[in-house]
Structure 1
Amino acid sequence: MPLQTCASVPGRAVSGLHGLPRFNAAPAVEAEAALLECYGSRRWAKRLADHRPYPDLEALLAAADEAGYDLSPSDRAEALAVEVSPGLPPDAPGSAHLALAAAHAAYESRFGHVLVICLDGLRPAERADQLLAGIRARLAHDPEHERVVTADEMRRLARGRIIELVSSQ
């Protein structure tokens, strides 16, 4: 299994509505379902689906960001509940897998949810180190600061997934 990034997390593959015109024209229930694969909040997905059509990808991404900022704590918790903790590539050393498993357990115990981190834009060789460094650094955050960081990472995740969703294929 490759290292997970924003848009490519196992169990979170985005599919079905390639191309912005197709997304804009899809029935609301289909658009909402596709958006839920991008960010697991029903309120967020409904808001974006209800505001279609979008003239271009930039407008859709701006609307997604805005909707993400307007979510309640329960909306964010709903989205976090369907996220998967990022992992390492299978060929990473066993000690790295053990260290990451311990760090994930400590993170979930401290903050009550899985770690979300966007690794898009990094070369594959950089991702494992960034993931391990990121989780270690974030364990030092106080809960309020980590809430803000997590919300930002969730918006970044959603952006990557939306781009995948509407990319023409």
Structure 2
Amino acid sequence: MTRGPTLPAHHLPYLPTPLDAFNTAPVDEARALLLHCLHSRRWSGRVADHRPYPDPEALLAAADEAAYDLSPGDLAEALAGESLPELPEDTYSAAHMALSAAHAAYEARFGHAFVIYLGDAPRGEIIDRILEAIRSRLANDPEEERVTAAEELRRLARGRLLALLDGARNCATRHNAPTPGR
């Protein structure tokens, strides 16, 4: 059996991954993007200055390391840029009132916004997790709460970085997908 001529290989144009785009972005753009993940100039500068990252895991490891090294001033700066997590739109008003009261008590005790990572929380449990965590953490002494808040900030930054990388990847995929019917 004889074969016909081989068709030429079709090469897709190179499309940068979200990590490639981050690695090659001007340093000011990379730092600004990182400030959306954690509101610390030192952290964002440190993560941006260590580019390029070979893979997302290396980026996350560097982000974690930089978060672990936050000074008390860096931590205060990062906490000042945070606010309470958004609640689902259908959350009833009594829950908003309970959350506002608990948050006011937390801010009065510790002097900064309450931070919590909720990336793994089912939508229907968000308000309960926030209220439970605020009430539990109100019993912490200030140093213990500083350590807890720093860990929650690290987890938030990590989750936001992953969302940015994934969001950029999904956006690129949607923009480069063939149009149905064509």
TM-score, length of structure 2 as denominator length? 0.80
Per-residue deviation, residues 89-113 of structure 1 (Å, max 9, x unmatched): 3422222111111000000000000
CA RMSD of aligned residues (A): 1.4
Task: Write the letter of the residue equivalent to 2:25.
Answer: A
The equivalences for 1:1-169 within 5 A come to 19-167=18-166, 168=169, 169=171
Name the structure 1 match of 2:176. Answer: none
Q: Is the 8 A contact 2:88 2:123 kept in 1?
A: no
Task: Write the letter of the residue equivalent to 2:97.
Answer: L
Q: Is the 8 A contact 2:60 2:158 kept in 1?
A: yes
1-structure distance, mates of 2:107, 2:115 = 11
Per-residue deviation, residues 64-91 of structure 1 (Å, max 9, x unmatched): 0100111111011111111111243342
Per-residue deviation, residues 96-149 of structure 1 (Å, max 9, x unmatched): 111111000000000000000011111101111111111111111111111111
How many pairs were matched up? 153
2-structure distance, mates of 1:46, 1:88 = 31
99-108 vs 121-130, greater mean Cα deviation: 121-130
Name the structure 2 match of 1:5. Answer: none
2-structure distance, mates of 1:162, 1:89 = 22
2-structure distance, mates of 1:18, 1:96 = 41
- The structure with higher relative contact order (CA 8 Å, sep 6+) is 1
Per-residue deviation, residues 32-81 of structure 1 (Å, max 9, x unmatched): 01001111111111111110000111100000010011111101111111
Q: Is the 8 A contact 2:80 2:112 kept in 1?
A: yes
2-structure distance, mates of 1:48, 1:58 = 13
1-structure distance, mates of 2:59, 2:110 = 31
Identity value in percent: 60
Task: Write the letter of the residue equivalent to 2:67.
Answer: G
Task: Write the letter of the residue equivalent to 2:164.
Answer: L
Q: Is the 8 A contact 1:38 1:161 kept in 2?
A: yes
* Structure 2 alignment gaps of length 5 or more: 1-15, 172-182
SS of 1:52's partner is coil
Q: Which entry has the higher C-alpha Rg, 1 or 2? A: 2
SS of 2:136's partner is helix
* Structure 1 alignment gaps of length 5 or more: 1-16
2-structure distance, mates of 1:38, 1:87 = 16
